[in-house]
Chain A
Amino acid sequence: MALELRGITKQFPGVLANDDVNLSVAEGETVALLGENGAGKTTLMNILYGLYTPTSGEVLIDGAPLTLNSPGDAIAAGIGMVHQHFMLVPVFTVAENVILGDEPTKRIGWLDKRRARKTVTEISSRYKLQVDPDAVVEDLPVGVQQRVEIIKVLEREARYVVFDEPTSVLTPTEVEGFFRIVEGLKADGKGIIFISHKLGEALEIADRIVIMRRGKTVAEVRPEDVDETQLAELMVGRPVDLVVHREESNPGDVVLAVEGLTVLDDRLQRAVDDVSFTVRSGEIVGIAGVQGNGQTELVETLTGLRPSLGGTVMLGDADITTESPRAIHNRAIAHVPEDRQESGLILPFSVTENIILDSYHQEPISHGVRMDWDAARKRAERLVEEYDVRTPGIDVLVSTLSGGNQQKVIVAREFDRDVTLVIASQPTRGIDVGSIEYIHSRIVEERDQGAAVLIVSSELDEITALSDRILVMFEGRIAGEFDGSASTTEIGLAMLGSQSEEEAS
């Protein structure tokens, strides 16, 4: 009893996304599919789900080949998929979402909502999912929304369940809960494919780990035989340093002092509520926290993009609370924004144009209003070389680069001068291991050269790897402060707001 992908090849114009890939999963087994972004995991899963037709190769269940022309065919064959981005209607209830696309009807087309609710309750209790069928989806936390997706898959009687990067949106506690659900599914005889680029999770949950690189399956290992370093090496194709190497910090003067800062979000709610902290030169301060606890608004205010309601932001002796983004930038603050595609880059611009985004109005890139494209290209060429941006040239659109290289363009632009303060939000989100390694080392380098560094990340591993001091944000407040050697468990608890008051000073 097994699902098998045999010799799958998928050719896109100019790219061989899958090259003779083999993958199988038996019922009651968990297989982790590991690979960097661009390794071809998602293409493979889209083939399995009937979204792409393979150039060659076949999908078999119990040895019989399947014809998959649409997700409907895949569902009928017993294949379910939980996507990274949930496919739920926010204003519908859980029960309504679950039956969407497969609505049970009474005679003359009445929706049988009672039966829908019963199904949800049944599945929920059977797998201990604890989902209320009448809750409206938009009110549910992300972890519960994911369980709604799982119920959808189970309601369609899937025998094989594919999870695409399921933990990327979850808090550490939710991840634990998710793993227990996966074990429950496995015990019930479901075959599970778990797509991830997180090594630790694959080791923890999988019976077998299949590693893809550049469209090929390059290795298949058992978790008990390998460790993270070996897995990373298989994934990247060369030895990788998973540990960020940094000396003891040597903090100097206070560079950034935030005092009583209060900021409203777009819905005029207090997103940042009376926050105070300092960052000294030569140290890295990490702000941990589940996304949406005010980190975004805090960084926007520090960089001049969002007005504050109260409090002050001091850079050295200068009050920069109300300064414009450009004035703040001119004070030698480097800002790596949270969303590189939305604000860090102008995607339809070339690499050159993106590299001069911060300096186009200054000598030598322009003289008065006249742009000097030769100077601009010179700067772009130098930075592409210096920051190891992998691009066919400086005139190609930045949108054609991989996420890691796009991020390097931003880092190159922001770090290419003497910076006194680095503010980096989610600096390595969604990028490959090689680029993560590179960007982390650059950040540490800035610290060693005496810059104050503020890192905001929802990846706890990233925070602990980089930070000399860790602050946890919860519901707009600083919910805890730890030194760099604190355990992830302690910090994880604070991320959920369960830090006791006296420690939260």
Chain B
Amino acid sequence: MNDAPPPDGGWDDQGYPGWFQRVSGVGSSVGQAVLVPALAVLTALIIGAFIIAITDVDTLRIWGSDPGEAFGLTMSGIFDAYKALFVGSVGSPRAISETLYAATPLILAGLAVAVGFQAGLFNIGVNGQMLIGGMAGLWVGFTFSLPMIIHIPLVVIAAIVFGGMWAAIAGFLKARTGAHEVITTIMLNFIALYLIDYLLKSSWFQEPGRNDPISKPANPSAHFPTLGDYRLNIGFVIALGAVWFVWWLMYRSTIGFEFRAVGFNPSGAKYAGMNVAWIYVAVMAVSGALAGIGGANQILGLEPYRGISNFAGTVGFDAIALALLGRSHPVGVLIAGLLFGALRAGGREMQGAAGIPIDLVLVLQALIIVMIAAPELVRAIYRIKTPEEETGTTISTGWGG
């Protein structure tokens, strides 16, 4: 059936993007890349409104006796909640600072996942890479006392090197033995998690006089400087630099060209003379390096500038969602990171001012992810044509031209 026109049109068996590419958004056109995530967010907010409505037990009771009053109360409840979300995230300079502050580690970790996606690798090990990179940064932070201008770059470099090397283990295992990176990175997460607990209780890291896993504080010269008394710090600038770097790497360098070629078609890349095995190692190293910076930010970008058990929290896993939402493009990851950061910052305000549990934010995030992971769902709701019915240029050479 080699002369079938659209819907096969041009997209034959292999040209048609597989599930991985559809979900991760790699290689989608700009329109496609923006449309589905935007609608996913919108849909999540609408469903969230319903959740706010049906969890408002007091108002629910009134529906029977006075529907008009109940409707009004419900609408004002939803309005108050989303208003608080908005005010808490962008309503004041401090709110904006909180949003950017929350977005910083998310952006860095999201970039780590996105680089993997672009090269066809699913790096679930961002959590572990953040921990290892962060520990390296912390060690540099409390061991040396240097001028800040030297100390902070040194911290970041240590985080890059160790995060990168940790992730490269998974790349190496894949290149050498074919071990799937999903399995190895998950396992490396556990190793990292318990390794840092061990380190935090060793005399090397542990705060003297403590029995629990908590480290010595980093020297002030290694603290990421903040903007006045806001929590926003230099980490956000580093994250922006990382966005630019990833964009440049993926679309303006031969290394990124190789990454993307391997991601789309490893056998085609091999035929073109690329060393696919080495590229797997390199991709993981770059991915882990970005995660490592995120890990350093988790210690040196916030009080009390100490290492604790699993200081990476859930960032390494939220990053997967973020990369999906950002369609694996660095600019998309930046936008998605800001959005998630805003939800975090606004969620606290929502809880305080409107009495809506902050868990709603997690529900909203989860809804967004479900709809990104099942793009057909969004397409079905909004009756969007599937990508194979369109042809066009891609973002594969980057949005900048």
Interfacial residues, chain A to chain B (CB-CB below 8 A):
12-15, 17, 35-43, 46, 83-85, 164-165, 303, 305, 324-326, 329, 335, 337, 341-350, 352-353, 357-358, 360-361, 366, 369-371, 373, 393, 395-397, 399-401, 403, 430
Contact = CB atoms under 8 A, between A and B. Distances in A.
A12 B9 contact: yes
A85 B13 CA distance: 13
Interface stretch (B188-196, B213-221, B222-230, B247-255): B247-255
B262 to A, nearest CB: 9
Contact of B273 (A326, A341, A393, A400): A326
Given A348-B27, A370-B252, A46 B270 contact: no
Interface in B1-19: 1-7, 9-15, 17
A337 B271 contact: yes
Given A13-B389, A358-B272, A346 B7 contact: no
Contacts of B270: 305, 325, 343
Interface of B: 1-7, 9-15, 17, 21, 26-27, 251-255, 257, 260-261, 264-265, 267-275, 385, 389, 391-394, 396-397, 401
Contacts of A14: 6, 9
What 8 pairs between A and B have smallest CB-CB spacing?
Answer: A326-B273, A399-B15, A400-B10, A347-B15, A348-B27, A343-B271, A37-B3, A357-B272
A345 B14 CA distance: 11
Report which residue of B255, B271, B392 has the largest number of chain A beta carbons within 10 angstroms of its beta carbon.
B271
A161 B350 CA distance: 68
A505 B74 CA distance: 90
Report which residue of A38, A164, A373, A400 has the largest number of chain B beta carbons within 10 angstroms of its beta carbon.
A400
A41 B4 CA distance: 8
B4 A342 contact: no
B269 A13 contact: no
A190 to B, nearest CB: 23
A371 B401 CA distance: 13
Given A303-B271, A353-B396, A396-B391, 16 more contacts: A37-B3, A43-B4, A43-B5, A325-B273, A326-B274, A341-B14, A343-B268, A343-B271, A344-B268, A345-B265, A346-B265, A349-B261, A349-B396, A399-B10, A400-B391, A430-B2
Contacts of B27: 348
Nearest to B260: A349
A357 B2 CA distance: 25
A373 B14 contact: no
Contacts of B14: 341-342, 347
A39 B3 contact: yes
11 contacts: A15-B5, A37-B3, A40-B3, A165-B2, A325-B273, A341-B15, A348-B26, A370-B252, A396-B392, A399-B15, A430-B2
Nearest to A12: B6
Contacts of A346: 261, 264-265, 268-269
Contacts of A165: 2
B393 A369 contact: no
Contacts of A46: 1, 4
Report which residue of B3, B7, B11, B396 has the largest number of chain A beta carbons within 10 angstroms of its beta carbon.
B3
B394 A348 contact: yes
B396 A348 contact: yes
A330 B10 CA distance: 32
Contact of A348 (B17, B273, B275, B385): B17
B5 A12 contact: yes
A41 B261 contact: no
A164 B252 CA distance: 45
Contact of A360 (B4, B9, B15, B254): B254
Contact of B257 (A337, A345, A360, A397): A360
Given A13-B389, A358-B273, A369 B4 contact: no
Nearest to A36: B3
A393 B397 CA distance: 14
Given A346-B269, A347-B15, A366 B5 contact: no
A366 B254 CA distance: 7
Contacts of B9: 12-15, 400
B272 A353 contact: no
A353 B269 contact: no
A71 B394 CA distance: 36
A337 B267 CA distance: 11
A329 B389 CA distance: 37
A410 to B, nearest CB: 10
B23 to A, nearest CB: 14
Given A84-B1, A347-B15, A348-B27, A329 B257 contact: no
A397 B265 contact: no
Contacts of A349: 260-261, 264, 396
B5 A38 contact: yes
Contacts of B257: 353, 360, 371
A174 to B, nearest CB: 20
Contacts of B394: 348, 350, 397
B7 A12 contact: yes
Contacts of B2: 37, 42, 84, 165, 403, 430
A360 B15 CA distance: 22
A329 B397 contact: no
A63 B253 CA distance: 65
A83 B396 contact: no
Report which residue of A83, A343, A430 has the largest number of chain B beta carbons within 10 angstroms of its beta carbon.
A343
A62 B290 CA distance: 70
Nearest to B271: A343
A350 B15 contact: no
Report which residue of A324, A346, A349 has the largest number of chain B beta carbons within 10 angstroms of its beta carbon.
A346
A337 B392 CA distance: 26
A329 B6 CA distance: 36
B5 A40 contact: yes
A165 B401 CA distance: 43
A371 B393 contact: no
Contact of B253 (A352, A353, A370, A395): A370
Nearest to B272: A357
Contacts of A361: 254
B254 to A, nearest CB: 5
Nearest to A16: B5
Contacts of B12: 341, 399
A36 B1 CA distance: 12
A146 to B, nearest CB: 16
Nearest to B26: A348
A82 to B, nearest CB: 12
B26 to A, nearest CB: 8
A371 B254 contact: yes
A353 B397 CA distance: 9
B141 to A, nearest CB: 31
Contacts of B7: 12
Report which residue of A14, A83, A348, A396 has the largest number of chain B beta carbons within 10 angstroms of its beta carbon.
A348
Nearest to A195: B3
Contact of A395 (B1, B3, B15, B393): B393
B272 A396 contact: no
A342 B267 contact: yes
A347 B265 contact: yes
B96 to A, nearest CB: 35
A236 to B, nearest CB: 14
Contacts of A85: 1
B344 to A, nearest CB: 34
A42 B1 contact: yes
A403 B8 CA distance: 13
B247 to A, nearest CB: 13
B252 A371 contact: yes
Contacts of A12: 5-7, 9
Contacts of A341: 12-15
Contacts of B268: 342-346, 357
A54 to B, nearest CB: 13
A393 B392 CA distance: 10
